[in-house]
Structure 1
Amino acid sequence: MMNIMRNSKHPVRTAAKEASHERIVSAAARAIRRSGYDGTGVADIMKEAGLTHGAFYAHFASREAMLAEAAERACTESAAIAAEAAASVPREQALTYMLHAYLSRENLEQVERGCPLAALGSETARQTPEVRRANTRYIKEMVDLVARQSPDWGQAGAHERALVTVATMVGTLLLARVVDEPALSDSLREAALKHLPIA
C-alpha cells in the first residue's frame, strides 16, 4: 500500500517540476528579448515565474544553461509564428504576408515576443556556443521558410534571395527599434518592404 502511494506521488511531483521548468524558460525567453542576455538575472526570472530564487538549481546547472534554453525557446517560438503566417494564406501570398507581419508596427513594439535576432542584435555573438547554435538553427529555418515561398525554390537563386530577405528583415526591425524618431522607424520598415526581393 505504501509503495503504491509513493509511486502515485512521483508523477505528480514530476509534472509539477516540469510545469515550474516551463514557467522559468518562458519567463527567461521573454526576458532575454526585453532586457538582453546580460540584463537577465536569475532572481528576476524566478520571481517572474512565481518561484523562489533557491529553486533555480533544481532546474538548471547554471545561469548559462538557462540562457541557452531561453534562446532555444525564443527562436522556436519565433520560427513557429513565421511558419504559421506562411501557412495561413495561399502560397503565392505567403512571403508578402510574412514580410508585412514581421515588419509591422505591432511586431516592432512586441520586443518580448518577437524575433530574438532583432531583439538581441550583436549580443548573441558574445554568448555561449549553445546560445549561438540555437540562433544558427533559427536563421537556417527562417532562410529555408522564405526560400520555400519562391517559385524557383530549390534553385541557388531562391536560396540567395532568402538570405538577403532574412538579413534585411532582421536588420530593418533592429534599426527601426533603435531610432528614437517614429517617422524614421516607419520609413525604414516601408523602404524595406518596397525593396525586398519578393519573387
Structure 2
Amino acid sequence: MTRYPSGHKERTREQIVSAAARAFREEGVEGVSVGEVMGRAGLTHGGFYAHFRNKDQLVAEACGCALEQSTARLIDIARKAPPEERLAAFIGAYASPAHRDDPGAGCLMPALATEVSRHSPEVRTAFTGSVQQALAMLVRLLPEVEGADRTDRALALMSGLAGAVMLARAVDDPALSDRILQASRDAFTAAFAKG
C-alpha cells in the first residue's frame, strides 16, 4: 500500500473541487462529466469515489468554492478603490467584459443559476448558501439610505448584476453585449453607488 504524506487526501479533494468549480462555470453542471472533472484535476476517474459520494456532493462543494474564488477577486478590486468608490468599483468589475468573457473564474450566479434550479435539494441548498454569503458581502458595501432596507437593495443589485452578465453572455451580437454591460454599470452605479 502506498503511503501519502499528511494532508494529501485533503489537498487532492481541494484540487478536485477547484477544478470542478471552474469546469461547471464554463460548461455547466450537465456539460461536464465526473471523468472530465478528474482529468482537469490531473487525476484518474477511479479516484473520485474516495472523495465524494456522488456528483451532487461535488457540485454542492464546488458552489462554495466558486463563490470564494470569484468573491475574493471582486472584493480585492473593490478594496483597492478609495472607500467612497468601492461599491462603484465592485459594480464596474462585475458588469465588465472581463467578467463576461471568463465565466470559469467569474461569479457562479450568472453561470449556474438556471441550471441549479433543476438540481437536487443538496445542490440547491449549497447554491442558496453561496448566494446568502454573497448577499451579506454586498450589504456591507452598500451605503445607508434613509428609509431603505440594505438587504432588499443588495438583493436588487445582485439580481440585476447577475442578470446583466447572463444576458450579455447569451446574445450573439458583441455590440449589444457590450451595451448591456455598459447600461447596467451606469444604471446600477447611479442607483446604488452615488451618495
Query: What TM-score comes out, normalization by structure 1 length?
Result: 0.87
**Residue aligned with 1:126, SS:** coil
Instruction: Give the gaps of 5 or more residues in structure 1.
Output: 1-8
Q: Where does 1:150-189 land on structure 2 (aligned, <5 Å)?
A: 150-152=142-144, 156-189=148-181
Question: Are positions 1:198 and 2:192 aligned together?
Answer: yes
Q: Paired residues, what number?
A: 191
Out of 121, 139, 143, the residue aligned to residue 147 of structure 1 is 139
Greater relative contact order, per chain length (Cα 8 Å cut-off, separation 6+) = 2
The whole-number CA distance in structure 2 between the counterparts of 1:55 and 1:151 is 48
- Show the counterpart of 2:49: 57
- Show the counterpart of 1:86: 78
- Show the counterpart of 1:108: 100
The whole-number CA distance in structure 2 between the counterparts of 1:160 and 1:116 is 20
Per-residue CA deviations over 1:36-85 (Å, capped at 9, x if unaligned) read 11112111111111111111111111111111111221122222223323
Question: Are positions 1:17 and 2:9 aligned together?
Answer: yes
* Identical counterparts, % of pairs: 37
The whole-number CA distance in structure 2 between the counterparts of 1:172 and 1:75 is 18
Structure 1 residues 10 and 103 mapped into 2: Cα distance closer, same or farther (>3 Å)? same
> Runs (4+) of structure 1 moved beyond 6 Å?
none
Shift of 1:88: 2.2
The whole-number CA distance in structure 2 between the counterparts of 1:155 and 1:128 is 38
Structure 1 residues 57 and 150 mapped into 2: Cα distance closer, same or farther (>3 Å)? closer
Instruction: Give the gaps of 5 or more residues in structure 2.
Output: none
Per-residue CA deviations over 1:86-107 (Å, capped at 9, x if unaligned) read 3222221011000111111111
- Show the counterpart of 1:47: 39
**Residue aligned with 1:73, SS:** helix
CA radius of gyration, larger in: 1
- Show the counterpart of 1:70: 62
Query: What TM-score comes out, normalization by structure 2 length?
Result: 0.88
Per-residue CA deviations over 1:112-157 (Å, capped at 9, x if unaligned) read 1101111123111112223222222232233333332233179643
